[in-house]
A and B are shown apart, each in its own frame.
Chain A
Amino acid sequence: MTGRTTLRGRLAAAAAGMVALTLGNAAPAGALPVLDATDATELAEALAEATDDQNVCYGWKVAVYDYSGGADGIDQGSSLGVGQTAVRTECPRYVVFEASITYTSPASESEDSARFDVVSNIPGAPTAVDLRDNGISVGALLGAEDDEVVANATLLLPALMAEKGLVEPISLEANTEPLPAGDRPTGTPGSDWLRKYGAAVAVAALILIGGLGWAAWIVFREYPFTRASVPTTSRRKRSGGLHQ
Chain B
Amino acid sequence: MSPKVKLLAALGAAGIGLAALLGVLFGTKGSVRSHIAAKYQRVEAESKGRSAVYTSTQPPGAVAKAISGAWKPAERINDPGGYFLRYRSAIVAVTAAAAGQQGSRIYVDDQRQGYNRWYPYLGGRWGTFSGPGETFRGGGPAAGK
A residues adjacent to B (C-beta < 8 A): 1-4, 7, 10-11, 14, 45-47, 49-50, 53-54, 58, 133-135, 151-153, 155-160, 162-163, 168-175, 177-180, 182-193, 195-197, 200-201, 203-212, 214-215, 218-219, 221-223
Contacts and interface: CB of A to CB of B under 8 A. Distances in A.
Interface of B: 3, 6-7, 9-18, 20-21, 23-26, 28-34, 59-62, 64-65, 68, 71-83, 86-91, 93, 95-98, 105, 107, 110-112, 114-123, 126-131, 135, 137-145
Given A171-B96, A211-B15, 17 more contacts: A1-B88, A2-B89, A152-B78, A170-B81, A171-B144, A172-B138, A178-B116, A183-B123, A185-B112, A204-B23, A210-B13, A210-B17, A211-B14, A212-B10, A215-B7, A218-B10, A223-B3
Contacts of B23: 204
B65 A133 contact: yes
Contacts of B11: 211, 215
- For A196, A205, A208, which residue has the most chain B Cβ atoms within 10 angstroms? A208
Contacts of B95: 171-172
A205 B14 CA distance: 9
28 contacts: A11-B25, A53-B80, A134-B64, A135-B76, A151-B78, A155-B80, A157-B80, A159-B78, A159-B80, A169-B96, A170-B82, A170-B141, A171-B95, A171-B98, A171-B142, A174-B107, A175-B118, A185-B122, A185-B127, A189-B73, A190-B74, A193-B28, A195-B71, A201-B21, A204-B24, A210-B13, A210-B17, A219-B7
